[in-house]
Amino acid sequence: MTFEWLAMHARRLSLFRGLVAGCLSLVMRGPAAAQITATPRPPTHALTRGASNVRQILPPDVQSDDGLYHAAISYDGSAIVFNDKVNVFEVTTEDLARHALTNVTSGQCEFPRPNRDGSAVVMACSANVTGQNADGNLEIVLLRNNEFVPITNSTVTGAVIVDNEVPTIASDGKSIAFVSNGNYTGQNPDGRYQVFLWRDGKPLTQVTKGTTAQVGFLNEDGRFILFAEYYVKDTCPVDGSVYRYDLHTGQTVSLFLPAESSRCGPCGRQLGVGLSGDATVRVFTAFTSCDADDIAHGRKLFRQRIGDDPTFLLDVPDFWDVKIAVNGDGSRIAVLQGDNSGSGDEWESVLFTSSGRQDLPGVPRYAGDLAFDGPGRHLIFISNEDLTGENPDHLSELFVAAIPLGSDTPLPTATATATPSPTRSTPIIPTPRRTVGFCAGDCDNSGQVTVDELVIGVNIALGIAPLGACMNLSFDCNATGEVTVDCLVIAVNNALYDCGVAAPTRGPTRNAIAHRHAVTRRTATQLPTATTTPGPLRQEPRYPLRGHRP
């Protein structure tokens, strides 16, 4: 039942208004009878088999000499996705069976990312899997309910070549952040790489508007987007600042660098960034030298609980490459670093947990795509080394390292007083700034506020239910950590007018979900075959915005 239907029936609408008035009076008077009952989550699947902490995921008979790239594991650890040079695959960890999610013969699909349980997978495809990509641009598509849903359609931008890349997805599968040089909202006429946000049933939102390209990461519950400044061909910023955008408030805040680090680094070298699934902890490297002749020196790795001072973790030797994986709450950090100069083969793999620093067993020198599941029980990676005796031909393979969970004390936090970074004369991104945010009271991002959701908001305001009872925290409309009467009134208006009252004025936008084409997910022979002729096939894994992706 929608509130549009309610608005057409005056008598029922008046009854609804009476209910809302009663709810608001309860907020001001005292306890309410309505209660919120939490539903327990099902247990996660276990990957561990045998005595070794490292297992090979794919058996030898399904290995491919085309290579494996862009591996990711679902938050609950039940599904792993990856792509070869053409198609996207999924491995369900319960039975270790591989399933083809795409079956294209022209173009390719890459950058897959699963939602919490793997029931929805977002990816970037130049293949025409939706029937709307005859020009072969790299488009963002969402596979859910056995259908490919087009998230972007570059033909609306009028540009000849548009790339939409590196998508990330929220746990419910209803929010997606990605990077694009498309001009979808009329705010990117120069075609620079910017971060865009898609929400189910809503127009695309451009999150960043800086003069440099961006790298974006959407956290687990879909509230925050972390992004970093990056270089483009005709500019050379050396700032490397990292920012966090709050979808509820529309504000962008700068996450400062450590006191001993200057805000500089070599042109074209991105700082490594990792973010916990709950967006409370970030891990990053920072340059501590601004000498033009010494730009490859002086890097350090830090852990920072956002709002606190950064904590030093380790030094990064000169010319070493760093790969980072962070689990859901930031309590586990995997670091693989090694000599990238071509003159040596030194390396180390380290695990930081609540008990401190320890070696990370089983992870080889040239592992790639390190990623934790939410609890940090399992770390996946790609390697061509024969770690288990099942890869004698040294093909690219998926492995998982099982890491027992302990009951240690939390990781230490810094106690030093933060020193502000040098002030920029012209900040690239103002902080804070307000843009389009969530619809207050729309807990499930459905585009409307229901009576049940209003009851949830009242219970939160009364202290009967926690703030998280509303999945996306949207009743906290002013980000104060509580639900006020004003926020409830806004939610009621959104209920009556289907999230359309008081919404910020938007520029030219488009609805990315214009049409859907069904596809059977599990059986490769029933998957659609693309027949268009897009651009040349890329022969190597590609990271257009290079740096360590979260």
User: What percent helix, strand, coil does the chain show, rounded to 5?
Assistant: 10, 30, 60
Confidence category of residue 199, pLDDT binned at 50, 70, 90: very high
List CB contacts of 389: < 8 A, sequence separation 6 or more: none
Say which residue the tokens 């999610």 belong to: 101
Say which residue the tokens 């409370």 belong to: 280
The pair of three-digit structure tokens given for residue 97, joined into one six-digit string: 């069976």
Q: What is the pLDDT of residue 395?
A: 81
pLDDT at residue 11 greater than cutoff 90: no
pLDDT at residue 266 greater than cutoff 60: no
Q: Can you tell me the distance from the alpha carbon of 530 to that of 468, in angstroms, rounded to the nearest whole number?
A: 42
Share of the chain above pLDDT 90, in %: 18
Q: What are phi and psi of 26, to 5 degrees?
A: -65, -35
More confidently predicted of 518 and 196:
196
More confidently predicted of 434 and 342:
342
Lowest mean pLDDT among 83-92, 347-356, 391-400, 503-512: 503-512
Q: Sheet containing 356-359: which strands, arranged edge to edge?
A: 320-326, 333-339, 347-353, 356-359
* Domains of the chain by residue range: 3-30+443-496, 74-256+430-437+519-535
| pLDDT tens digits, one per residue of 339-365 | 766 566 778 888 998 788 888 877 887
CA–CA distance from 263 to each of 232, 239, 490 (Å)? 18, 5, 41
Mean of all residue pLDDT scores within the chain: 69
The listed range with the strongest mean pLDDT (22-36, 38-52, 178-192, 409-423) is: 178-192
CA–CA distance from 122 to each of 19, 175, 199, 388, 444 (Å)? 40, 10, 13, 31, 19
| pLDDT tens digits, one per residue of 76-110 | 999 999 998 899 999 987 777 888 999 998 899 99
Contact criterion met (CB below 8 Å) for 273 and 286: no
Single-letter amino acid code for the residue at 451: V
The pair of three-digit structure tokens given for residue 135, joined into one six-digit string: 């020009």
Q: What is the pLDDT of residue 192?
A: 83
Residue 451 pairs with which residues in a beta bridge? none
Q: Could you check whether the bond before residue 432 is cis, i.e. omega within 30 degrees of 0?
A: yes
Instruction: Name the class of domain 74-256+430-437+519-535.
Output: mainly beta
Confidence category of residue 397, pLDDT binned at 50, 70, 90: confident
Q: Give CB contacts under 8 A, 24+ apart, made by 29-35.
A: 30/462, 31/462, 31/464, 32/458, 32/459, 32/462, 32/464, 34/455, 34/458, 34/459, 34/464, 35/459, 35/464, 35/465
More confidently predicted of 327 and 192:
327
